[in-house]
Amino acid sequence: MNLSGNQASIRDAVDAGVLAGAVTLVWRGGRIEQVNEIGHRDIEAGLPMRRDTVFRIASMTKPVTVAAAMALVEEGKLALTDPVTKWLPELADLRVLDTPGGPLDRTHPARRPITVDDLMTHRSGLAYFFSVTGPLARAYGRISAKQSPDAWLAEIAALPLQHHPGDRMTYSNATDVLGVLLERIEGATLQDVMTERILGPLGMADTGFFVDPRNRGRVATMYKLTDDDTLSHDAMGPPTTTPPPFCMGGANLFSTADDYLRFARMLLEGGTVDGVRVLSEESVRSMRTDRLTPEQKRHPFLGMPFWIGRGFGLNLSVVTDPAKSRQLFGPGGAGTFGWPGAYGTWWQADPAADMILIYLIQNLPNFGADAAAAVAGNTSLLTLQSVQPKFVRRTYQALDL
């Protein structure tokens, strides 16, 4: 078995100057088959990518937050069917836009409260500024995360919902709201909740909402591909080295390839890793089971036909038809699951192949409404977006899967 060919697209992008570097990992059948350390974590400083490089993993945070919530479900502290108003009274008496994209003052009462399940599946009616349009998008864009969780939630709660809870899926701040809920149940920060329930038992010592000052030099620099096809250095600034006032459960973890591998293995192996049980088989099954209705799958996800051959569990995409999914999203057997991050980080676990793939880069995307058009007209951006799919496809080809 020769996996070296899966490096080609990554090295080509690095040589072309559209990607600083990447760390990738292939795990199969109980062992690590390959780790690629390509390019630089900081080009200007001449620091190469290393296996222990720390990345901002963005929305790869979401499944970890959900896993922490499922641990509390097992303890009887909450249920998926619970209305979130039991802990988040700010979200009582919510209203829904009369027309998506319409005025914020033209609303009607929500038919029912938001449930915990709604938060975990993005069917709450909440949104992100880039997942909706019109005045609601602008209102979300004005809300700062650099405040206390309570103040942030109050601003979110003051906005109308995009749609009634449970009706459909709209990608949103729902997992951040779930994190606030966990903090209130436990009377602790989300960092502490995660450490006790997930990170600590799994030995994920390099994963958290801030970076130990001693490890700051291991953090990959965030780059952005500019309009003139060059990489803008340090597009996000230095990493957080002290506990933040708001641990955003949907976006703000730092992690490494080996740390996230342990989390992915736990989900693939039914809740255990190396004899340590972190979640029950039932909790893992719930996370990995498609929960979208056929009608909900007819709606695009961020403008894409995302649900062809795929569904959505508790913040995990799930392959339901490998043949259909492969055409748009690449190889992966039935039940393959994962969830990517906005900065180019990606992973998937394939139970049929007993395999986990992890691909980590640091690239700040365009979150604007014209993002798709910008990519379509830019060959460098198209090259950058093609790197990960080629890595995945060539890995499966090398393994004859």
Which residue intervals of the chain bear CATH 3.40.710.10? 4-60+220-398
Spell out the alpha helix ranges (H) of 163-210.
Answer: 174-186, 190-194, 200-202
Distance CA(85)–CA(113), nearest Å, equals 7
Residue indicated by tokens 């990518």? 49
DSSP state of 195: I
**Structural contact between residues 308 and 292, judged by C-beta atoms closer than 8 angstroms:** no
- DSSP, collapsed to helix, strand or coil, labels residue 369 as coil
Distance CA(6)–CA(178), nearest Å, equals 37
Q: 4-60+220-398 domain in CATH 3.40.50.410?
A: no
User: What CATH number was assigned to the domain covering residues 72-186?
Assistant: 1.20.58
Banded pLDDT at 304 (limits 50, 70, 90): confident
The mean per-residue pLDDT over the stretch 262-267 comes to: 98
* Separation of CA 135 from chain center: 26
pLDDT, residue 368, reads 59
pLDDT, residue 383, reads 80
pLDDT, residue 227, reads 83
> Which stretches of 29-181 are assigned E, i.e. beta strand?
31-42, 47-48, 55-56, 95-97, 107-109
Q: What is the per-residue pLDDT across 44-77, written as a single tens digit (0 to 9) for each?
A: 999 999 999 999 999 999 999 999 999 999 999 9
Note the pTM of the prediction, 2 decimals. Answer: 0.96
Across all residues in the chain, what is the average pLDDT? 95
Which residue intervals of the chain bear CATH 1.20.58? 72-186
Element (H, E) at 287: helix 281-287
Q: How many other CB atoms sit within 10 Å of the CB of residue 95?
A: 16
Partners of 32 in beta bridges? 27
Q: What is the per-residue pLDDT across 270-290, written as a single tens digit (0 to 9) for each?
A: 999 999 999 999 999 999 999
pLDDT, residue 371, reads 47
Partners of 23 in beta bridges? 37, 360
- DSSP, collapsed to helix, strand or coil, labels residue 46 as coil
